[in-house]
Amino acid sequence: MNIMLISDSPELGAQLQDLLKGAATHVLRTVKSVAEAINLLGVDFPAESAPAIDLFLADDQASGVNGIQVCLRLKSVPRLRAIPVILLTANRHAGKLQEAFDAGVADFITQPFNTTELLVRVRSVLRLKQEMDARVKREKELLKLSSNLSEINYTLSRLSSTDVLTGIANRSRLDQFLDREWKCAIRESTPISFLLIDIDRFTVFNSKLGHEQGDECFITVAGVLDLSLKRPGDLAARFNGGMLAAALTHTDSKGAATMAELLRLAVLMLAIKHPESSLSQFVTVTIGAATANPGKDDSHLSLIVAAEQALYDAKQEGRNCSRHKLIAR
């Protein structure tokens, strides 16, 4: 263990060096003043390059400054604050000792020294320092572990609410979102809309071109949907195996119908070749939209049912189009 004596007395340094030489684990280093100690260990050095010190011995008889002032100065340097200080003093007055402990002194040793007492007190303070260091290390490890667990939980939370293929919200996340926003729309008396997007002749596309190209097509269409929803209050999601959805908060019938057509045209403009479609040489989508002004006796499921009915109507009318339903109150 590395011990630093702060004293301008060569005799005291030699005496302590002689007393501690029997303790092979203790290395004594002497400086003449607290300023020299701080210059050697303090703020001007990166923490990794400063010499490691485990204990200060402050000479209360040093010229120019007393041991309590030395302790206060050491404790004012953040890097040195955790290093214990033992006061070497000839003053056994209770008031003096109380002042020393108030200043942050860990212990005191009276002069002239008793070898046994000196070694016992030094070992005791160093043992306490080791225990404190170990506790701080454990706390840092626990904080790091806690941080890692938070990151893992966040990742798991995202994975549990994200569709693995497309990266947008999955059905579970969509249902939670709709339920929350439906209740919010009731409180605020605002409209909410919902879109169901079906890729036309997608089963045939997969059969003809293979599932790898089918997945690529589905991912691309999902990406267009996600990028088209620019407001933070809207949500793009995978509704089921081959169908996508969009939840549009604070959106009335006109807004829902407009968004449905914009999405339909955006997919068409991707110009993804569809060799087996009778609708177009490119991939197209059919969209069912629904809008509601929710009441307290309603459920967000009614919005999904209405969008499914609108999607069915659009398919019956030839696909590659969008249709809208308004839920009457």
Average pLDDT of 124-134? 86
Q: How many other C-beta atoms lie within 10 A of the C-beta of residue 255?
A: 15
Higher pLDDT, 235 or 57: 235
Domain range for 233: 171-326
13-42 per-position pLDDT tens digit: 888 888 777 666 677 888 888 888 887 776
Higher local confidence (pLDDT), 149 or 279:
279
Same domain for 176 and 318 = yes
d(CA 87, CA 68): 8
Phi, psi of 170 (to 5 degrees): -95, 180
Per-residue pLDDT, averaged over 208-213, amounts to 91
Residues facing 88 on adjacent strands: 59, 109
Averaged pLDDT score across all residues of the chain: 86
List the single range of 30-34, 43-47, 81-85, 234-238 with lowest mean pLDDT. Answer: 43-47
In a domain, 164, yes or no: no
Comparison of pLDDT for 161 and 194, the residue scoring more? 194
Determine the pLDDT at residue 8: 83
Structural domain tally of the chain? 2
Stretch among 93-97, 101-105, 141-145 having the lowest mean pLDDT: 93-97
Q: Averaged over 247-252, what is the pLDDT? A: 96
| Statement: residue 305 has pLDDT above 60 | yes
> Residue 8: which CATH number?
3.40.50.2300
pLDDT surpassing 80 at residue 322? yes
Please state, in angstroms and rounded to a whole number, the distance separating the CA atoms of residues 253 and 11.
94
Q: How far apart are alpha carbons 259 and 111 in whole angstroms?
A: 88
47 band by pLDDT with thresholds 50, 70 and 90: low
> Do 223 and 324 contact (CB within 8 A), yes or no?
no
Reported as a single tens digit per residue, the pLDDT across 213-247 is: 999 999 999 999 999 998 989 999 999 888 999 99
In a domain, 102, yes or no: yes
Q: Identify whether residues 61 and 195 lie together within a single domain.
A: no
Task: Please check whether residue 149 lies inside any domain of the structure.
Answer: no
User: Distance (Å, rounded) from C-alpha 4 to C-alpha 247?
Assistant: 69
What is the CATH classification number for the domain harbouring 285? 3.30.70.270
Q: Of the segments 91-95, 148-152, 203-207, 246-250, which one has the largest average pLDDT value?
A: 246-250
pLDDT at 46: 58
Assigned domain for 159 exists:
no
For residue 55, being part of any structural domain is answered with yes
Confidence label for 48 from pLDDT (cuts 50, 70 and 90): low
- 59 plus 189 within the same structural domain: no
User: Would residue 163 count as lying in a domain?
Assistant: no
* pLDDT attached to residue 91: 73
Q: Taking CA 74 as the corner, what is the angle to CA 72 and CA 76, rounded to the nearest 5 degrees?
A: 70
In a shared domain, residues 127 and 185: no
Average confidence (pLDDT) over 246-252: 97
- Across 297-324, average pLDDT: 94
Q: Is residue 123 included in any domain, yes or no?
A: yes
Do residues 204 and 299 both lie within one domain? yes
Residues 53 and 198 placed together within one structural domain of the fold: no
Joined together, the tokens standing for residue 212 give 């790898």
Query: Based on the domain organization, do 88 and 188 belong to the same domain?
Result: no
Percent of the chain predicted with pLDDT > 90 = 44
Question: Which whole number is the average pLDDT over 145-149?
Answer: 76
Looking at the fold, whether 105 and 207 belong to one and the same domain comes out as no
Of residues 89 and 224, the one with the higher pLDDT is 224
179 and 122 belong to one structural domain: no
pTM of the model: 0.57
If asked whether residues 195 and 303 sit together in one domain, one would say: yes
Please say which residue of 140, 163, 185 terminates a domain. 140
* 256 in a structural domain: yes
- How would residue 158 be classed by pLDDT, with cut points 50, 70 and 90? low
CA distance linking residue 78 with residue 42, whole number of Å: 9
* 30 and 103 assigned to the same domain: yes
**pLDDT, tens digit (0-9, with 9 covering 90-100), for 280-300:** 999 999 999 999 999 877 889
What's residue 129's pLDDT? 85
Within this chain, do residues 92 and 24 fall inside the same structural domain, yes or no? yes
154 pLDDT higher than 90: no
Average pLDDT over residues 168-189: 94
User: Dihedral, CA atoms, 186, 188, 191, 193, nearest 10 degrees?
Assistant: -70
Domain ends where: 140, 163, 188?
A: 140
Picking from 123, 140, 157, the residue at the C-terminal end of a domain is 140
